[in-house]
Amino acid sequence: MDKKKLKISSIGFLMPGLGLLFAFIALPILFTAWLSLNHWSMFTSISEMDFVGFKNYQNLFSQETFRKALSNTLLLSGASIVIMLPLSVLIGIFLHRIYSKGSSLVKTLLFLPYIIPPVAGALIWSYLYSPTNGPLNQILEWMHIAPKDWLTSPGMALKSIIIFNVWQTLGYYIVIILAGLTEIPKDYYEASSIDGAGKIRQTIFITIPLLKRSMLFIIVIMGINTLQLFDPVFILTQGGPVNSSTVVTHQLYKTAFEFGKAGEASAMAMILLIVILVFTLLQLRIFKSDD
């Protein structure tokens, strides 16, 4: 088979997969981008769509509610990374050294919260956060600390979402760190111990640098996941109180399905997509420059 026929046959094998990608990923994104440039109510016929250009985007950034939702989304994502990345690395290193023989059982236990459906997990935590009978406030009372209005206080609602997100997803990132640790050759540690390096120096100069790719993956995936967080906000706080815990995905849902403003909701989706792309490309660029 000559090169031309091989090239044609290769394209033929790729066409089904590329067709599915176009139908279920590229086409919806393009349609959403087109909707974002139009004024259209979901309660009317699509024939009544009116092209308005970038007016939907201008309207969004003039709305205090959307600006609050966008800032909360970025804060939620940033706080999750700052909290979970060091925790996943520290706990992963600790478990790798202490429980190396029972690593499969440890990984399974750590992964359990991640495989619990977010709606079910949020319902469980709504009970834990209960201001009257919630276990968290009862523990605070035993410690002689004033109970917290976890979900009804503007200063605590978003923090409560962050706590839930850490509980739900931390185990997944720890498992990734554990997988990265198993790929580090033991020869490095043996050679460094001969030179007199202790556990702390080995961690700083061997473990952390060789975990950089695992940490890059965690930062990117964590950023993407938290920027799209919806279920716990919808179940626990409904974006309240006073929009203190609203995020872009929740505001998008309300705009589309409660108010029927498909154009503005599509503009929100495109803004969120741009934020995710910029965040991901920035992280990849930073780590690539470090290499």
pLDDT in tens, 127-156: 999 888 888 988 888 888 888 889 988 889
CB of 266 closer than 8 Å to CB of 36: yes
Query: Residue 2 falls within a domain, yes or no?
Result: no
Q: Which two tokens stand for residue 281?
A: 């490309």
Query: Residue 184 falls within a domain, yes or no?
Result: yes
> Residue 71: pLDDT above 90?
yes
Residue 200 CA, chain-centre distance (Å), reads 31
Q: Tell me, what amino acid is at 284? A: L
Please report which confidence band the pLDDT of residue 167 belongs to, taking 50, 70 and 90 as the band edges.
very high
Query: Residue 117 falls within a domain, yes or no?
Result: yes
Residue 188: the pLDDT is: 81
Which residues form the domain of 158?
Answer: 57-290
Per-residue burial over 41-55, b if 16 or more Cβ lie within 10 Å, else e, is eeeeeeeebeebeeb
Q: Tens digit of pLDDT for each residue in 74-104? A: 999 999 999 999 999 998 888 887 765 556 7
CB of 234 closer than 8 Å to CB of 222: no
Cβ within 8 Å of residue 248, ≥6 positions away: 66, 69, 70, 73, 227, 268, 271, 272
pLDDT, mean of residues 171-180: 89
In total, how many domains does the chain have? Answer: 1
Q: Tens digit of pLDDT for each residue in 4-31? A: 666 667 777 778 877 888 888 888 889 8
Please report which confidence band the pLDDT of residue 235 belongs to, taking 50, 70 and 90 as the band edges.
very high
Residue 45 CA, chain-centre distance (Å), reads 35
Query: Residue 229 falls within a domain, yes or no?
Result: yes
Query: Residue 4 falls within a domain, yes or no?
Result: no
Q: List phi, psi (to 5°) of 149.
A: -90, 80
Q: Which two tokens stand for residue 162?
A: 């962050």
Query: Residue 12 falls within a domain, yes or no?
Result: no
Residue 246: the pLDDT is: 92
The position carrying tokens 């979402």 is: 161
- Please give the full DSSP string across the chain, using - where no structure is assigned: --HHHHHHHHHHHHHHHHHHHIIIIIHHHHHHHHHTTEE-BTTS-GGG-EE-TTHHHHHHHT-HHHHHHHHHHHHHHHHHHHHHHHHHHHHHHHHHHHSSTTHHHHHHHHHHHHHS-HHHHHHHHHHHT-TTT-HHHHHHHHTT-----TTTSTTTHHHHHHHHHHHHHHHHHHHHHHHHHHTS-HHHHHHHHHTT--HHHHIIIIIHHHTHHHHHHHHHHHHHHHHT--HHIIIIITT-STTSS--HHHHHHIIIIIS-BHHHHHHHHHHHHHHHHHHHHHHHHHHHHH-
Residue 282: the pLDDT is: 80
Q: List phi, psi (to 5°) of 134.
A: -65, 135
> Residue 164: pLDDT above 60?
yes
Please report which confidence band the pLDDT of residue 284 belongs to, taking 50, 70 and 90 as the band edges.
confident
Q: Tens digit of pLDDT for each residue in 237-277? A: 998 888 899 999 999 999 988 888 888 999 999 999 998 88
Residue 271: the pLDDT is: 92
Query: Residue 25 falls within a domain, yes or no?
Result: no
Query: Residue 270 falls within a domain, yes or no?
Result: yes
Signed CA dihedral, 159, 161, 164, 170: sign only: negative
Q: Tens digit of pLDDT for each residue in 105-125? A: 777 788 888 888 888 999 999
The CATH number of whichever domain residue 160 belongs to comes to 1.10.3720.10
The C-alpha atoms of residue 2 and residue 7 are separated, in whole angstroms, by 9
pLDDT, mean of residues 201-226: 87
Residue 205: the pLDDT is: 84
Residue 268: the pLDDT is: 93
- Which of 102-116, 178-192, 277-291 shows the lowest per-residue confidence on average (mean pLDDT)? 277-291
Residue 83: the pLDDT is: 94
Residue 49: the pLDDT is: 82
